Structures are given as C-alpha cells and as structure tokens.
Amino acid sequence: MSRTEPVFEVIHPGMLTTVQDLGRRGYQKYGLAVSGAADAHAHRMANLLLGNPVDAATLEVTLMGLKVRVLKPAVIAITGGDLDPRLNGQPLPMWSTVPVHPGDVIHFSGCKSGCRAYLAVSGGIDVPVVLGSRSTDLLGGIGGVAGRKLEKGDLLFAGPARVPADKVLRRRLHPDWVPQYPRQVEVRVVLGPQEGAFTPDGIATFLSSEYTVSTTSDRMGLRLMGPTVGHKHGADILSEGLFMGAVQVPQNGQPIVFLVGRQSVGGYTKIAGVITVDMPWLAQLKPGDTIRFRQVTVAEAHRLLREYERFFAAIKVWGSSHLSA
Amino acid sequence: MGLQFKYAGDQAILVEVGEGIDPRTSGKVRSLAQKVESCSIPGFGEVILGYRSLLVNYDPLIISDDEVIQWLQRWGQEPEVIQRSEARLVEIPTLYGGEWGPDLEDVAAHNGLTPQEVVEIHSGGDYHVYFLGFIPGYPFMGGMSEKIATPRLSSPRVAIPAGSVGIAGKQTGIYPIQSPGGWRLIGRTPLRLYDPNRTPPFLLQAGDRVKFIPINEDEFSEIHESVLQGRYRPMTRGESVEPN
C-alpha cells in the first residue's frame, strides 16, 4: 500500500469526529490528557476484526453525521454505538469486516443506540505520532489531524496492513458478543479516595440513586444530575492527580465521572472510581441516559479485569484461526 | 506523618505524603515520583504530582496493589533524591497592567496599594512550582505575598489569552493556552509555557523556582518575536537534577 494515496476524504465531519488510539501515556504530570478512544473495548474490537494491533488508530464518530468518500480499495470495520452506518445509502453491517471501493460513500446517518462509533481501516488511520500517540487531544492541540477535529476536505491515510485484505474479509463478531448499549446502565465502583469526606447518608444516596447524564457532558467527563451527595464539611481539597473513572463531587453534590479527555488534576473530593471493565459503557451514554452505581471491592474489580482480558484473548485466538471466511 | 495509601479506582493508588502546601512536602512528592519513574519494575505506570500527594497508576494484570504499596512504602523510607537548593530558577518576563493585566488596578485597590506597588511585590519574590496540571503546562505556584492576595473573580472569564499571569488568593499562575478562568489577571508574558512543536513542550517543571521580571511594551514585542521564531532561550539559573 502506498502512503501517498489517501484512503478517505471527509465530505462532512459530523458533530465531532477525531482520530483516536489507546491514548498518550506519561504526560499527565505536565497537564496533558491521556485521550484515546472513549470506548476502548469497541475500538480494540474493530482493530481485532481487521487484524490490526489493538492500538491502531480509528475514527471516533460522535452521535452522527460523518460522511467520507472512499478513495482506494480498503477493508473497514465499524463498532461501538449504532449510529446507523450506511454504505452508498444501504445499511452497513457493524462488528464485521466490509470491503470498500473507490467512489463508495460511508455515512453515519443517525443515532440508534450508544453515543460513539469507531470506524477502523486495515492498517489503521495513519497520522503522525505526537508524544507517543496518534490520539487527538483537542485541548492540547496535538495528535490526529493537526490537533483538531476532522473538517470537510481532510484526507486520511491508512498504514500498511499487517494482515492481507483477503485474509480478513467477511469476518464478524458472534452476535452473542456484540454489546447492546442500553440507556440505563449500572456501573461498579470502588469507593475512595475521599469517601471519608462524605456523610454516611451521602454515600448511601450515591449508591442507591439514579443519576441522569446532563447535556454538558463530553469526552472529558459525564456531568450527572440527581439526588445530592452530601459532604461532611466541604468539597475542596488540595489539588491532586485524577484517574480514569474518578467520580468527583463538588459542593453542589452532583457527581462528575471523568473519562479519557479528563484534566490531569482536580481540587474536589472524589467519592469513588468506576472500575476499568465498566468504563466502555459510560462512554456510550448520552444526555438523558441514566446511571446507577454499585460498590465492589478492588479485588473483585481486578478479578473482573482478568476475566475480561481472558475473554478478549480467547476472541483473538478464535479470530485468527476461524474468523476468516 | 508516614505515607498514607488510598485506592483511586482499580488502577491507581493515591499516596499522601504530608498535610499542607509547603516546599518540603512537595520535595517528598517529587522524590517519590522520581523513584517510581526510575524503577524498572513491570506494571508501574505514570505518576501525577499534587500538592501533598502522588497518584501512582499501575496495571493490575501485571502487579498487585499490595506489591505497589510495598514498593512505595520502601521508597518512602529511603533518603530523598532531590534537594530544594538544587532547583532551577526560571525568569518570566512580564508586561504588567493595561490590556495585558486588566485586573491590576482592582488587585491594588483590594489591597490598598498602588498598581506599581503590586508589580514590585509580585516581581519581588520568587515562587515555587509545586506541579504542572489541569491544562497543559499550567504551573501551580506558591509563595506569593499575602499583601497582594486577592480572591477569584465572582464570574470567571470565558477566554483568557495564553501567557496571562493571574492571582487567586495566595497563589499565582500563568495560563499556557487560551482557557476560561477566574483568576485576577495582572500581566502577560510573551513566553510560551506550552508549545507542542518544541522539545520539550513544557517550559517549566515541578520543583522549579520562578521569578517575574517586569518589561515594557517594546521588550514584550521583541521577546514575542524571538519566541515566534524559536530563538528565545529563557533565562535560568541553577541546574535541575530532574530529567525534563
């Protein structure tokens, strides 16, 4: 494959489309976000279907509107939320590999479920690696295409495919393994690091109530609305590092859950952290959807993570030996 | 106090090393950070510094939380690797007042001083960079005189220009990129605290000392021009022992 020939031309960028991989590590202590695909599971699965490394860059499409023209033959896979992807106007199967040809138009026409879809191409989206990652960081103005969201007229290139195109054609994920993205989710949390700053009532309220995702949510975090989580004294703490899934509660008692685009430090109390295996569900919530929180131990969270990675590894083995048509 | 360990989700441990905002505690945080970063133990991830704590990320598929805590406990008992006296001093040329520092007069009025006195006090001391964070390259600095301490604006500005020097309570800071914010703006530096096209992209690092140097409009333009051309070398004194 020639690097000089683009694979896609952006006809319409949609609401928000960015290039993402699994994130930028090692720069949070300077204030740079990790970034990366908000739904890492869907991102990895799209790459897996195509035989790409799991951290190959994909396009993260938010809610609707991305339209690209195919400029050279390629194999694609679309995973994540069902944003009604179409190929030349016809429904395009998700969680499957699909060959595309010059002149084809891929269009995400609307949102049926979830919030974010991932469009992967064999070889991965090839943009320059900046500080160790291809991920777009809109605040830091780096990664992806010139550190910004996609615009009309952008040309996207694919890297060299690791697995020849004919070897990945007509692969699909078994329907039992295709996630459905409900508008009500329950996610598991580990309490801390400042659970002691909340009243027992505040913690009970947090663990028993339903919270609604507000319209001001984005890749940085989900701002929630619901019953007030009460503090003992106040919500201010000396600024400290923030972690993936941190549930911060400022003085107004309304939780904020931090996602991949989060700031690196914060000065408000955190009641809990969402466990790693449940983060992809959060990334697929949109305004009006609801969350409940359930407490687990750290040991349980780690057991679930090992189980998930075994599941993922099993799909890999299955994929490499039996997924080809 | 001894080190306190707290779970921060299922892939990070928060280590608290002290209570308040002071350079000694900050030195312990940096020392511990350096030990994590220079260890080659598989499973340790990146760290984030705070005023009195260090967030240590780890991969639970590779290393257990118990092991992480044991290592941190051991490193916490070893002598510190960084001495404050070795910190680098970075000079920040700053044009005070006018359109560059629209709140200078309010800060003066709030403290019963003239704007010139505020400039003299602000540029008279030097400041300790506790850590960077929040937005790329933003220095959290302490050590400002109480004489010019001023509360945040009641209603934050939507867009503060990059390079703006602000005051909030007893803290002073510099906005590396355009951003919203509620700090009182007293001046602006032509330096770029964050430039993704530069190596390294960040002008300051935790442990640095900072001194503001008052400049006039001509000097501002001159420095701004040489920054744009990539010719400007910030004035520093002392050597940092930390890798940048």
Domains and CATH numbers, chain B: 3-77 (3.30.1360.40), 89-237 (2.40.100.10)
Residues of A in contact with B50 (CB under 8 A): 238-241, 265
How many Å apart are CA A79 and CA A185, to the nearest integer?
19
pLDDT at position A2: 47
Instruction: Using a pLDDT cut of 70, give the percent of chain B over it.
Output: 95
H or E segment at B140? strand B139-142
pLDDT at position B226: 94
pLDDT at B236 over 90: no
Which tokens is B15 given? 């280590």
Number of C-beta neighbours around residue B239 at 10 A? 9
pLDDT at B81 over 80: no
Q: Is B132 on the interface with A (CB under 8 A)?
A: yes
Q: B114 to chain A nearest CA, in Å?
A: 32
Nearest chain B alpha carbon to A274 = B9
pLDDT at position A4: 74
Q: Is A146 on the interface with B (CB under 8 A)?
A: no
Q: Determine, for residues B134 and A239 on separate chains, whether the beta-carbon distance falls below 8 Å.
A: yes
How many Å apart are CA B152 and CA A61, to the nearest integer?
38
Which tokens is B184 given? 């009182």
pLDDT at position A272: 98
pLDDT at position A321: 53
Interface test with A, best of B6, B7, B10 (most A CBs within 10 A): B10
Q: Determine, for residues A26 and B33 on separate chains, whether the beta-carbon distance falls below 8 Å.
A: no
H or E segment at B73? helix B65-77
pLDDT at B209 over 80: yes
Mean local confidence (pLDDT), B147-168: 92
Per the document, the length of chain A is 325
Three-state SS for chain A is CCCCCCCEEEEEECCEEEEECCCCCCCHHHCCCCCCCCCHHHHHHHHHHHCCCCCCCEEEEECCCEEEEECCCEEEEEEEEECCEEECCEECCCCEEEEECCCCEEEECCCCEEEEEEEEECCCECCCCECCECCCECCCCECCECCECCCCCCEECECCCCCCHHHHCCCECCHHHCCCCCCEEEEEEEECCCHHHECHHHHHHHHHCCEEECCCCCCCEEEEECCCCCECCCCEEEEEECCCCEEECCCCCCCEEECCCCCCEEEECEEEEECHHHHHHHHCCCCCCEEEEEECCHHHHHHHHHHHHHHHHHHHHHHHHHCCC
Determine phi and psi for A124, rounding to 5 degrees.
80, 155
Q: Determine, for residues B48 and A242 on separate chains, whether the beta-carbon distance falls below 8 Å.
A: yes
Q: Is B59 on the interface with A (CB under 8 A)?
A: no
- Amino acid present at A225: M
A141 conformational bin, left if phi > 0, alpha if psi -120 to 50, beta if neither: left
pTM, full prediction: 0.93
Nearest chain A alpha carbon to B58 = A243
Name the residue among B8, B61, B132 with its Cβ closest to that of A29.
B132
- Amino acid present at B146: E
Q: Is A93 on the interface with B (CB under 8 A)?
A: no
Determine phi and psi for B148, rounding to 5 degrees.
-120, 10
- Convert B142-152 to b/e letters by CB count within 10 Å (16 or more is b): bbbeeebbbee
A192: Cα within 13 Å, side-chain hemisphere = 20
Longest dimension (CA), chain A: 63
Q: Determine, for residues B55 and A242 on separate chains, whether the beta-carbon distance falls below 8 Å.
A: yes
SS3 assignment, position B169: strand
SS3 assignment, position B43: coil
Residues of A in contact with B136 (CB under 8 A): 30-32, 139-140
pLDDT at position A73: 95
pLDDT at position A167: 86
Nearest chain B alpha carbon to A194 = B6
Q: Determine, for residues B177 and A192 on separate chains, whether the beta-carbon distance falls below 8 Å.
A: no
> Contact B239/B173 with Cβ under 8 angstroms?
no
pLDDT at position B235: 78
Nearest chain B alpha carbon to A270 = B8
pLDDT at position B244: 36
SS3 assignment, position B35: helix
Q: Determine, for residues A241 and B53 on separate chains, whether the beta-carbon distance falls below 8 Å.
A: yes
Higher pLDDT, B142 or B98: B98
pLDDT at B84 over 70: no
pLDDT at position B242: 39
Q: Given the structure tokens 């687990």, which residue do they identify?
A: A296
Which tokens is B6 given? 């707290």
Find, among A169, A189, A192, A157, the residue nearest to A278 by Cα.
A189
Measure the N-to-C terminal CA separation of chain B; round to a whole number of Å: 29
Q: ipTM of this complex > 0.90?
A: yes
> Contact B187/B97 with Cβ under 8 angstroms?
yes
pLDDT at position B82: 63
> Contact A79/A38 with Cβ under 8 angstroms?
no
How many Å apart are CA B111 and CA B151, to the nearest integer?
11
Helices B23-38 and B65-77 meet at what angle, rounded to 10?
120
pLDDT at position A1: 46
Q: Is B52 on the interface with A (CB under 8 A)?
A: yes
Residues of B in contact with A130 (CB under 8 A): 196
- DSSP character for B86? G
Question: Mind listing the pLDDT tens digit of every residue in chain A (325 residues)?
Answer: 445 799 999 999 999 999 999 999 999 999 999 999 999 999 999 999 999 999 999 999 999 999 999 999 999 999 999 999 999 999 999 999 999 999 999 999 999 999 999 999 999 999 999 999 999 999 999 999 999 999 999 999 999 998 888 888 889 998 889 999 999 999 999 999 999 999 999 999 999 999 999 999 999 999 999 999 999 999 989 999 999 999 999 999 999 999 999 999 998 999 999 999 999 999 999 999 999 999 999 999 999 999 999 999 988 766 665 454 4
Which tokens is B67 given? 């092991």
